[in-house]
Structure 1
Amino acid sequence: MSRLRTGTTAPALPAADAAGAPLPPVPPGGLTHLQFRRFAGCPICNLHLRGFAVRHPELRAAGVREVVAFHSPADELRPYAAGLPFPLLADPERRLYRAYGVERGARALLDPRVWPSIVLGVLSGVPQVLRGRERLPSARPAGGRLGLPADFLIDADGQLLAAHYGTHAADHWPVARVLALATEHRPATEPTPATAPEPEPAAAGPDPD
């Protein structure tokens, strides 16, 4: 799969999310942060998305529409969508993943940098499962466990402004990075036309005799 380059047109997104609801529109002059996650119930993904849910008002205020894709079927993904303030896309056939060049491989879990995130994701997810707010992932998730994350920032016209392809399962943009990119790529406001200076009053001539 070939990776996308910034400055090109991003592949179109599906019209509806995993629940069958239409995707929310991009705010006027706003941006879309499209992130590719792994499988439904992935502990690393759940931990990551909880952080985005908490700070979602900041993202909206910055004009960012958040959209998250999983390589899980819709029926597996829908229970995890409850309580999240942004849409989840179900892509079990990985069509969108291929279109965006999102990869998978053993390095997703074998890279030592991901291990702390796995432990933290599991430990933080246990209370959520006990409270009935989350479910345990499938023992054999659709699409496997070797997916790699990716992040894309897209403007309202569909142009790809920034892209990040993860090198392991926890290599993704944090909220702060998305907000910084939104500030960097925010459309410049139109300058106020300069007001022409008023003409100086004509100098008075000499008094006639």
Structure 2
Amino acid sequence: MSRLRTGTTAPPLPAADASGTPLPPVPADGLTHLQFRRFAGCPICNLHLRGFAVRHPQLREAGVREVAVFHSPADELRPYADGLPFPLVADPEQRLYRAYGVERGARALLDPRVWPSIVRGLARSVPLVLRGRERPPASRPLGGRLGLPADFLLGSDGRIAAAHYGTHAADHWSVDQVLALAAAHRTAPVPQHD
């Protein structure tokens, strides 16, 4: 699977999210932070997305549109979209994952750097599941549990402004990193074409 490089044209996104709602358009000078997560109900992914939800006003103010992709079917993903101010895209066939070169592997969970995130994610999710306030993840999620995350910052011109391929399940951009990348992108010189 080949990885995409900065400056290349990004593969197109689907027209709608897991609920069938059209994806919001990118403002003329805006950016899209495209996150590839693992499966619906993934404790690490849910904890990460909740952090982005809390700081969504800052991201929007910086002109960043959030879109998160999961390799789960829409019916499994929809319950986890509640309360998130940005769209979740279902990609059970993993077409987008392949198009963007997003990988999977045992290192997703075996890398010791991911273990603290697993503990934090479970500490948040298990009490909610036990109280019936959150659905447990599928016992055998479609696409498995070994997906690796990836992050892309897409310019309004459809080109990849920045890319990050995770080496384990918790190796993803933070909100601060996305904001810094967006600021750097806005101050970068615009290439001149003859």
What is the CA-CA distance between 1:187 and the residue it aligns to? 5.9
More helix by share: 2
For 1:119, the equivalent position in structure 2 comes to 119
Contact 1:30–1:186 (CA<8 Å) still a contact in 2?
no
Unmatched segments (≥5 aa) in structure 1? 190-209
Structure 1 residues 145-184: aligned runs within 5 Å: 145-184=145-184
- Secondary structure of the 2:109 match is helix
Distance 1:155 1:133 in 2: 37
- Residue 72 of structure 2 is matched in structure 1 by 72
One-letter amino acid matched to 2:90: A
Instruction: Tell me the residue number matched to 2:22.
Output: 22
State the alpha-carbon separation in 2 of the partners of residues 188 and 180 from structure 1.
Answer: 12
Letter in structure 2 aligned against 1:102: V
Note the C-alpha offset of 1:133.
Answer: 3.7
Displacement of 1:131 after TM fit? 4.8
CA–CA distance in 2 between the matches of 1:111 and 1:57? 33
| 2:32 match: secondary structure | strand
Specify the alignment match of 2:192 in structure 1.
none
Alignment of 1:39-78 (within 5 A): 39-78=39-78
TM-score, normalisation: structure 1:
0.88
Q: TM-score, normalised by structure 2?
A: 0.94
| Aligned equivalent of 1:36 | 36
Q: Distance in 1 between matches of 2:49 and 2:26?
A: 20
CA distance in 2, matches of 1:174, 1:114: 15
Preserved CA contact (<8 Å) 1:29 1:187: no
Give, in angstroms, the shift of residue 124 of structure 1: 1.1
Instruction: Using the aligned pairs only, state the percent identity.
Output: 81
Q: Distance in 2 between matches of 1:92 and 1:153?
A: 22
**2:26 corresponds to which letter in structure 1?**
V
Secondary structure at the residue paired with 1:186?
helix
* 4+ runs deviating over 4 angstroms: none
Q: Which amino acid aligns with 1:46?
A: N
> Cα deviations across residues 101-133 of structure 1 (Å, max 9, x unaligned)?
000000000101001100110001123334544
In the alignment, is the contact (CA less than 8 A) between 1:8 and 1:159 conserved in 2? Answer: yes
